[in-house]
Amino acid sequence: MPVIFLLTKCKSNQNWAYLPQIPKPMYKHLFFDLDETLWDYFSNSSIVLTRLFHEYDLPSIGVPSLEAFLQAFKVGNNKAWHLYDIGELNKETLRENRFPMIFAELGLPRTVVPEQIEADFMSQCPKEGRLMDGALELLESLHNRYTLHIITNGFNDTQRIKMESANIAHYFQTVTTSESTGARKPEEGIYRHALSVAGATHHESLMVGDKIENDVLAAERVGIHGVFYNPDKVHFDEKIRYEITHLSELLPILKA
- pLDDT of res. 23: 56
Q: What is the DSSP letter of 113?
A: S
Beta bridge partners of residue 31, listed in sequence order: 149, 207
What is the distance between the alpha carbons of residues 218 and 227, in angstroms, rounded to a whole number? 11
| 141 and 227 fall within a common domain | yes
**Residue 51 maps to a domain:** yes
Residue 70 belongs to some domain of the structure: yes
Write the CATH number for 87: 1.10.150.240
* Same domain (yes/no): 99, 174: no
Residues 241 and 201 in one domain: yes
Are 140 and 251 in a shared domain? yes
Predicted pLDDT of residue 15:
42
202 lies in some domain: yes
Same domain, 188 and 83: no
Residue 256's pLDDT is: 74
Mean pLDDT per block of 10 residues along the chain (256 residues) reads 36 41 75 98 98 98 98 97 94 97 98 98 98 98 97 96 98 97 96 98 97 98 98 96 98 91
Q: What is the pLDDT of residue 201?
A: 97
Domain count, the chain: 2
- Same domain assignment for residues 248 and 168: yes
Which of 82, 108, 127 is a domain's end point? Answer: 127
99 and 147 part of one domain: no
Please check whether residues 231 and 114 belong to one and the same domain.
no
Closest CA to 55 of 100, 121, 4, 11: 121
Q: Both 58 and 184 in a single domain?
A: no
Provide the domain limits for residue 95: 41-127
Same domain, 55 and 171: no
Same domain flag for 144 and 99: no
* Statement to judge: residues 107 and 70 lie in one domain: yes
